[in-house]
Structure 1
Amino acid sequence: MDLLALADFNLVARHGGFGKAARAAARPKATLSRRVTELEASLGVRLFERGARVLKLTEEGRALFERTALLLTELDETAGAIASGGHKPRGRLRVSAPLLFSQTAMGKIAAGFAMKFPDVRLEVTTEDRAVDMIEEAYDLVIRVNPAPDAALVGRAFLHDRLVVVASPGLRRPDDAPVPAIVRGAIGQRSTWKVATASGRSSIAVEPILGLSSLVMVRDAVRMGVGVGRLPLSLVSHDLSAGTLVHWGDVDGPATALWALYPTRRLLSARVSAFLDFLREAFPKGTPDELAAYVEGRGSSGAITAQTSA
Structure 2
Amino acid sequence: MMQDLARIRAFVQVFDAGGFSAAARQHGRSKALLSKYVTDLEDYLGVRLMNRTTRKLSLTEAGEVYYREASALLQQLDDLDATITDQTSEPRGLLRVSAPRNFGESTLAPAIYEFLRAHPKVTLDLRLEDRYVDLVDEGIDVALRISTLADSALIARKIADMHVVAGGAPALIERVGRPFHPDDLRHLPCIVDVNLQGHSNWRFFEDGKTISVPVSGPVRVNSPLAAREAAAMGLGFVVLPSYLADPLVARGELVPILESYMPTGQTLQAVYPHRRHLAGKVRALIDHLVAWFEKHPVN
* TM-score, normalised by the number of residues in structure 1: 0.68
Find out whether 1:252 has 2:254 as its counterpart: no
Q: Aligned residues, how many?
A: 275
Find the aligned partners of 2:281 and 2:133 in 1 and give their Cα distance: 22
Deviation at 1:18, TM superposition (A): 3.2
Q: Which range is displaced more, 26-35 or 59-68? A: 59-68
Find out whether 1:105 has 2:140 as its counterpart: no
Find the aligned partners of 1:14 and 1:92 in 2 and give their Cα distance: 23
Q: Cα gap change, 1:39/1:78 in structure 2, threshold over 3 Å: closer, same or farther?
A: farther
Counterpart residue number, 1:234: 244
8 Å CA contact 1:194, 1:251 repeated in 2: yes
Find out whether 1:146 has 2:149 as its counterpart: yes
Deviation at 1:68, TM superposition (A): 8.0
8 Å CA contact 1:158, 1:285 repeated in 2: no
Find the aligned partners of 1:26 and 1:203 in 2 and give their Cα distance: 58
8 Å CA contact 1:96, 1:127 repeated in 2: no
1:1-309 to 2 correspondence within 5 Å? 2-9=4-11, 11-12=13-14, 17-19=19-21, 21-22=23-24, 27-37=29-39, 50-52=52-54, 74=79, 77-78=82-83, 86-125=88-127, 126=129, 128-129=131-132, 131=134, 133=136, 136-143=138-145, 144-147=147-150, 149=152, 152-171=154-173, 172-173=176-177, 177-184=187-194, 206-249=216-259, 250-283=261-294, 286-288=297-299
SS in 2 for 1:93: strand
The share of aligned pairs that are identical, in percent, is 31
8 Å CA contact 1:181, 1:209 repeated in 2: yes
8 Å CA contact 2:135, 2:143 repeated in 1: no
Find the aligned partners of 2:284 and 2:264 in 1 and give their Cα distance: 30
Deviation at 1:274, TM superposition (A): 0.7
Q: Deviations over 1:45-78 (max 9, x none)?
A: 856x745367689996998899788766655545
Q: Which range is displaced more, 160-169 or 116-125? A: 116-125
Deviation at 1:267, TM superposition (A): 2.4
Deviation at 1:12, TM superposition (A): 4.5
Find the aligned partners of 2:154 and 2:29 in 1 and give their Cα distance: 37
Find the aligned partners of 2:30 and 2:202 in 1 and give their Cα distance: 69
8 Å CA contact 1:178, 1:204 repeated in 2: no
Deviation at 1:228, TM superposition (A): 0.4
Deviation at 1:131, TM superposition (A): 2.5
Q: Deviations over 1:201-236 (max 9, x none)?
A: x99954221001211111111122111011112111
Find the aligned partners of 2:69 and 2:104 in 1 and give their Cα distance: 32
8 Å CA contact 1:188, 1:207 repeated in 2: no
Find the aligned partners of 1:222 and 1:281 in 2 and give their Cα distance: 30
Q: Deviations over 1:154-193 (max 9, x none)?
A: 42112122221112221243799321101129x9998875
Q: Cα gap change, 1:286/1:79 in structure 2, threshold over 3 Å: closer, same or farther?
A: closer
8 Å CA contact 1:146, 1:258 repeated in 2: no
Q: Structure 2: give runs of 5+ residues left out of the alignment.
A: 179-183, 207-211
Deviation at 1:243, TM superposition (A): 1.9
Find the aligned partners of 2:242 and 2:40 in 1 and give their Cα distance: 59
Please, what is the CA RMSD of the aligned residues?
4.4
* TM-score, normalised by the number of residues in structure 2: 0.69
SS in 1 for 2:291: helix
